[in-house]
Amino acid sequence: MARKSLRERLLLGTDKNGPIIREELGPCWMWKRAKNTDGYGQIGIATARCRRTHIVSYMIYRGEIPNGFCVCHRCDNRACVNPEHLFLGTVKDNNMDMAKKGRHGKAKLTAEAVKQIKALLIMGARAPETGKIFGVKRQTINDIQARRTWGYVNP
């Protein structure tokens, strides 16, 4: 049996019906397999290393990444590999984009994502499943629900 291509493996580990974090972008394509401790998807490549899945997705669908550039998310969803959600920028561009959207440092969620999480919880969603959708731990969802974090964001 032939080994699957990197593109095939990326698609096999992806759910194209992920959350819609920003209406104008459409659904995130959620990486459902291995993730690093920061919530970014990981996939093995030919050199026996792991690469972040959003970077691999960008390279498959858009092409090479010039030196000095990184792959950024328009949706701010670290597990998203939707090429329409990805763009190239410098580290400075990424930091400015993050600040403009109200994200800080290692925050994995945006205010818009927290609104969606709170709406899902109101409709009866459970913390473990909600955490998986948004690439965060169940405790993060519990903290949001108990208003220990993101208390100022309303659904």
pTM value is: 0.65
Same domain flag for 94 and 137: no
pLDDT computed for residue 66 by the predictor: 95
Per-residue pLDDT of 79-97, as tens digits, reads: 999 999 999 999 888 877 7
Residues 122, 88 within the same domain = no
For residue 4, tell me if it sits in a domain: no
The answer to whether residue 3 is domain-embedded is no
pLDDT at position 113 is: 87
Nearest to 29 by CA among 53, 1, 62: 53
122 plus 55 within the same structural domain? no
Q: Does 27 share its domain with 59?
A: yes
Q: How confident is the model at residue 47 (pLDDT cuts 50, 70, 90)?
A: low
**Can you say how many angstroms the Cα of residue 69 is from the centroid of all Cα atoms in its chain?**
19
Q: Please provide the distance, in angstroms rounded to a whole number, between the alpha carbons at the two ends of the chain.
A: 49
- Domain assignment of residue 143, given as a range: 109-155
Residue 105's pLDDT is 56
Q: Are residues 97 and 21 in the same domain?
A: yes
- In this structure, are 74 and 37 located in the same domain? yes
141 and 151 assigned to the same domain: yes
| Pair 125, 154 in one domain | yes
Per-residue b/e over 60-72, b at no fewer than 16 CB within 10 Å?
eeeeeeeeebbbb
Query: pLDDT tens digits, residue range 106-115?
Result: 567 877 888 8
Same domain for 50 and 116, yes or no, is no
pLDDT at 124 over 70: yes
Please give the pLDDT value at position 46.
73
Residues 100 and 124 in one domain: no
Average pLDDT, the chain: 88
134 token code pair: 């948004």
The verdict on 92 and 16 lying in the same domain is: yes
The tokens for 84 are 């329409």
80, 130: one domain: no
Say if residue 131's pLDDT is above 80.
Answer: yes
Averaged pLDDT, 128-151: 88
Q: Kindly report, residue by residue over 1-44, the tens digit of the pLDDT.
A: 678 889 999 999 999 999 988 889 999 999 999 998 778 999 98
Secondary structure class of 84 (helix, strand, coil): helix
56 pLDDT exceeds 90?
yes
Domain count, the chain: 2
